[in-house]
Amino acid sequence: MWIILTYDINEKRVDKIRKISLQYLIRIQNSVFIGDIGWASLRILKERLKKEIVESEDSIQFFILRDEKLVKRIKLGVSYEFSNII
Amino acid sequence: MWIILTYDINEKRVDKIRKISLQYLIRIQNSVFIGDIGWASLRILKERLKKEIVESEDSIQFFILRDEKLVKRIKLGVSYEFSNII
């Protein structure tokens, strides 16, 4: 399926969270990632991120869609899509 | 329809962008907003934001879905949903 991951992470932990997310998804903004991912990988990604965050301070949200075709995307301004470069 | 708006905005302009976005959507993270919105309002929102950003420095993305039911949402950590409080 296709997902959007967004986060607000304390700066002490954000490098780690970004590196993990980049192993599974493409970065499109500072704290926004998108990509095609299977259920198994999503589960692993979620567990890995959960271990790193402090639940009372950090926030991660996954928006999960069956298919990228269900979403229309409009971009304003700078558009950069990192491939898996850390 | 239902949209997710995400942005990376220079701090000089971010207050303005946040205030405009809050007039149409609900804030769920520092730079992530969601909400039900009609085409007409989306067009106005897009035009208003476009006027405020510097296209070479700032980035705004809209993810547009026909229906909220098409998306499954998973949250880790802090979950706050501002209503339209600025």
Give the ipTM of the model, two decimals please: 0.90
Which pLDDT does position B52 carry in this prediction? 97
Of A58, A63, A73, the CB nearest to B77: A58
CB B15 within 8 A of CB B52: no
List of chain B residues with pLDDT < 50: 83-86
| Interchain contact, B62 vs A74, CB within 8 Å | yes
Tokens representing residue A65 in the block: 């869609």
According to CATH, what is the number of the domain B2-70?
Answer: 3.30.70.240
Alpha carbon distance A44, A27 (integer Å): 18
Tokens representing residue A50 in the block: 């959960």
Which of the four pLDDT bands, split at 50, 70 and 90, describes residue A82?
low
Average pLDDT over residues A33-48: 97
| Interchain contact, A57 vs B73, CB within 8 Å | no
Kindly list the domain boundaries of chain B, sorted by start residue.
2-70
Task: Give chain A's mean pLDDT.
Answer: 92
Alpha carbon distance A6, A14 (integer Å): 12
Average pLDDT over residues A53-69: 95
According to CATH, what is the number of the domain A2-68?
Answer: 3.30.70.240
Quick one: residue A75, left, alpha or beta (phi over 0 = left, psi -120 to 50 = alpha)?
Answer: beta
